Each structure stands twice: as C-alpha cells, then as structure tokens.
C-alpha cells in the first residue's frame, strides 16, 4: 500500500453515502431543539424563502380544531420569527418533565424538523420528539442501568391463518437465568400496531427503569398487532409500504378477541413464564382497552390484572354489537372467578370520558370491583405512558 493523502484520510472519516452528505451540510449549521438549562427550548428551522413558519406541539396550549367528527382539542400553534441567514426561531417558556412532540408548518405545509432525527410515527403522522427530564419523564429515558431485550418475532396464528409479527420485551436477566416470569399483554389503539407501545409508549425504557428501581416486578411484556387483517405493521409485513389507516377492517368485530389465545399459547410455549392466571396481566389503550375488556371476560379465568386505558367502550347497538353478547353474564362469571386488579384510567377531557362513566355505572350496579384513576388531559400518548408507569407497579405483587 503506497502513501495516500490527507484528503483521503478526511474522506474516509467522512465515509458516508453522498446522499446523506448534502442534506447534512445544510442541516449541520442548525441546532434544534436546543434545551436550555432552565428547560426552556429553542426550535430553529432553516427556511430562507418562507414567509410564515409555525410550530405545533403538545407543549403549547391546546386549540379547538374542526374535524369531520366535530370540534376537538388539537395541539396548539405558534409563530417562529425569522432571525438571520434564513433561520427561524421560537423559544418556549421553561417546560415541565415530559416526552414532547412537535412539527413545523411552513407556509401552510406540514414539515418535520430536519435538524432533529428523532421521530415517531403515530398512525400515518410522523412528528419529532424530545424529552425534558425530571420526575416521571426520567422513566422514559434510557438510563445507565440493566436493560431488557426487545425482540421482533413472528408467531403462527392458526385462528387467523397467518404468521404475524409481535414485539416482546424480556426483562434484564431473562437470558442469564432459569427463572420463570409473569407476562403483561399490552395492546395498542386504532391505527396502531406492534410498533406503537415500544416506540410511542417507551415500554422498554419504562420497564427497565421501574424494575431497576424495585417498583415493578421483572416481567415479560408482549405487544401484539391488534389489526387482524395485517400480518405486521405497515412497512413491516407482506403488504409492503402503504399509508397506515385508522379504520382497519375487522378490528372491533370480535375476531381479535376470539383468536387471542393463539398469542398466549405462543408466548407460553416459547418463553419461560409462569403460565397461570396470577401471572397474567392484560391492558390496552383506546381500542386496546376495548379489546382488553372483552378478552378478559371472554376468557374469564385467565387474567388476574386488567387495565383499561382510555378504553373505547363501544355502543352495543352498532357494528360491534355481537361482541357485547351476554356482557353482564360474562362479567359476572369473571367477577365470580375473581381477579386481583381491574384498573380503569381516563383523562378528564377524553372524548371517551362519558362512555367510561357509563361503563363504571354498569360495573357499580353489578357490584363488580375496580380501581379508577382520573387524570388531566385527553386521549393522548402522554397519558398512556403515565398509565403504564402507574399500572406496571401494581402487577404480580
């Protein structure tokens, strides 16, 4: 090998694809978001020819937005100011501990922040994220503590006639012990999939932290895909890349509930678990809360811990009607068989609040015991992450 030049050395150290390079040079000059020592945050965007740049994010006061379903709370918006060299800026007040999301609107066009490569997909929308630490938000961080393993596997579902992708968290020490573990089945909402809880829900970080702090028992967390027509999340399955939708057919017609034991059987024959009721928990958000309610009563002697997070309690008279067949009878059986925790949580401004009041009324009339947590806020991942931090410590104690 002959002498080579310094240029080559530099090029080698910059040995990355040319595509990445040019965008890098543009973006490199900008830091966004910049989190200051007082937890205020400055956002910056290079948009030299824009006439108006806004930011929308869940740290801004909510605004009423018009939707085809009527007026709802939406994320707030505010303007960035053009400062210099084509850069626009907005600085927040100091923010409290939280995992926040945001995106920009540039002359009416939605855009993520090209300076921030940390993005989360929520159904078909991609937004940037950042964390202000402290308090409960430290549970969302990857800290320097023992970590569990997160596996994306495929299981055979005879009931649905396909191999399906599933996300499974095993706790720190699982691989190096012969111990058996309890299992939490954790279900996503409409438009979600087997990526939702692990990405938007920060499940691995929350469990790692709670287990390390001695606040939760080491447990396996199983995050299946509740859209029975999919083998996997959009982009991860045999349907290839396509725009994710909310209204996936057959998600609330009972098919998932009636085939759910395919998942339990897979887990219990492939992992070292305590395969009994006292070591099984099930919880879900929104549509996943609906699934949780029905699965736990369809198999009324299977789960000792049941968590309904902002549950989509659906009207019995509509398309989902047959799922509710004999609801009081099956709930009575579940009640008679016994369980250790039936946990219902919802935010005060959640559009499902009233449906949950009605469901609790029914449980009250039946004398069916539950615990109820009412939080601030609405139908948001911000609440669902917190519900997980509250629910997991209650399990398997």
- Considering only residues 273-312, where is the footprint of a copy of itself by CB under 8 A? 286-287, 290, 310, 312
Residue 397 CB, shortest distance to a copy of itself, in Å, is 26
- Tell which residue, 244, 210, 245, 162, has the closest CA to residue 387: 210
Does the protein bind a copy of itself through residue 347 (CB under 8 A)? no
Residues 348-387 interacting with a copy of itself (rule: CB under 8 A):
351-352, 354-355, 358-359, 361-362, 378-381
Q: Which of 29, 213, 270, 333 binds a copy of itself (CB under 8 A)?
A: 270
Q: Which is nearer to a copy of itself, 295 or 395 (CB)?
A: 295
State how far the Cα of 155 lies from the Cα of 165, in Å rounded to an integer: 6
Strands 183-187 and 280-285: parallel
Residues 149-208 interacting with a copy of itself (rule: CB under 8 A):
149-154, 163, 165, 175, 189-192
The CA dihedral of 228, 232, 234, 240, to the nearest 10 degrees, is -110
DSSP 92: P
Residue 140 CB, shortest distance to a copy of itself, in Å, is 10
State how far the Cα of 32 lies from the Cα of 279, in Å rounded to an integer: 44
Length of the chain measured in residues: 397
Q: Which of 7, 38, 61, 397 binds a copy of itself (CB under 8 A)?
A: 7
Quote the tokens at residue 30: 């900008």
Residue 86 CB, shortest distance to a copy of itself, in Å, is 7
The single residue listed with the structure tokens 């930011």 is: 55
Does the protein bind a copy of itself through residue 103 (CB under 8 A)? yes
Does the protein bind a copy of itself through residue 322 (CB under 8 A)? no
| Per-residue contact flags (x/-) with a copy of itself for residues 111 to 140, judged by CB under 8 A | xx-xxxxxx-xxxxxxx-xxx---------
| Per-residue contact flags (x/-) with a copy of itself for residues 199 to 228, judged by CB under 8 A | ------------------------------
Q: What angle do CA 304, 309, 314 make, to 5 degrees?
A: 100
Residue 214 CB, shortest distance to a copy of itself, in Å, is 19
Residues 33-92 interacting with a copy of itself (rule: CB under 8 A):
45-52, 56, 58, 62, 65, 67-70, 72-75, 86
- Is the separation of the CB atoms in 28 and 83 below 8 Å? no
Neighbours of 380 (CB within 10 A): 20
Q: What angle do CA 70, 73, 79 make, to 5 degrees?
A: 120
């Amino acid at each position: 090998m002959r002498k080579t030049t310094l240029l080559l050395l530099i090029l080698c150290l910059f040995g990355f694809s040319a595509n990445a390079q040019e965008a890098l040079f543009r973006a490199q000059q900008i830091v966004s978001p910049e989190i200051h020592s007082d937890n205020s945050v400055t956002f910056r965007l290079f948009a030299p020819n824009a006439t108006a740049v806004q930011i929308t994010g869940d740290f801004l006061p909510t605004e009423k937005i018009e939707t085809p379903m009527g007026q709802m709370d939406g994320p707030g918006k505010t303007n960035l100011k053009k400062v210099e060299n084509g850069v626009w800026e907005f600085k927040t007040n100091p923010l409290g501990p939280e995992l926040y999301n945001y995106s920009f609107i540039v002359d009416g066009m939605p855009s993520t922040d090209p300076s921030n490569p940390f993005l989360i997909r929520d159904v078909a929308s991609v937004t940037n994220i950042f964390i202000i630490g402290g308090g409960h938000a430290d549970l969302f961080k990857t800290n320097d503590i023992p970590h569990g393993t997160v596996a994306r596997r495929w299981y055979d579902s005879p009931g649905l006639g396909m191999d399906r992708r599933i996300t499974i968290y095993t706790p720190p020490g699982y691989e190096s012990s012969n111990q058996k573990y309890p299992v939490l089945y954790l279900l996503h909402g409409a438009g979600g999939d087997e990526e939702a809880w692990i990405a938007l829900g920060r499940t691995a970080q929350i469990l790692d932290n709670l287990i390390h702090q001695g606040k939760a028992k080491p447990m396996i967390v199983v995050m299946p895909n509740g859209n029975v027509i999919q083998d996997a999340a959009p982009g991860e399955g045999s349907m290839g890349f396509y725009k994710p939708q909310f209204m996936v057919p057959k998600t609330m017609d009972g098919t998932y509930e009636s085939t759910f034991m395919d998942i339990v059987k897979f887990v219990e024959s492939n992992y070292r678990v305590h395969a009994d009721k006292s070591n099984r928990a099930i919880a879900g958000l929104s549509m996943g809360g609906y699934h949780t309610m029905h699965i736990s009563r369809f198999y009324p002697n299977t789960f000792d811990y049941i968590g309904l997070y902002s549950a989509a309690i659906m009207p019995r008279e509509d398309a989902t009607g047959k799922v509710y067949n004999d609801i009081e009878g099956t709930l009575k059986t579940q009640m008679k068989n016994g369980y250790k925790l039936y946990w219902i949580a919802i935010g005060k401004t959640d559009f499902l609040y009233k449906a949950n009041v009605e469901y609790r009324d029914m449980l009250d009339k039946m004398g069916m015991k539950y615990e109820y947590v009412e939080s601030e806020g609405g139908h948001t991942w911000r609440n669902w992450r917190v519900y997980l931090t509250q629910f997991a410590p209650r399990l398997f104690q």
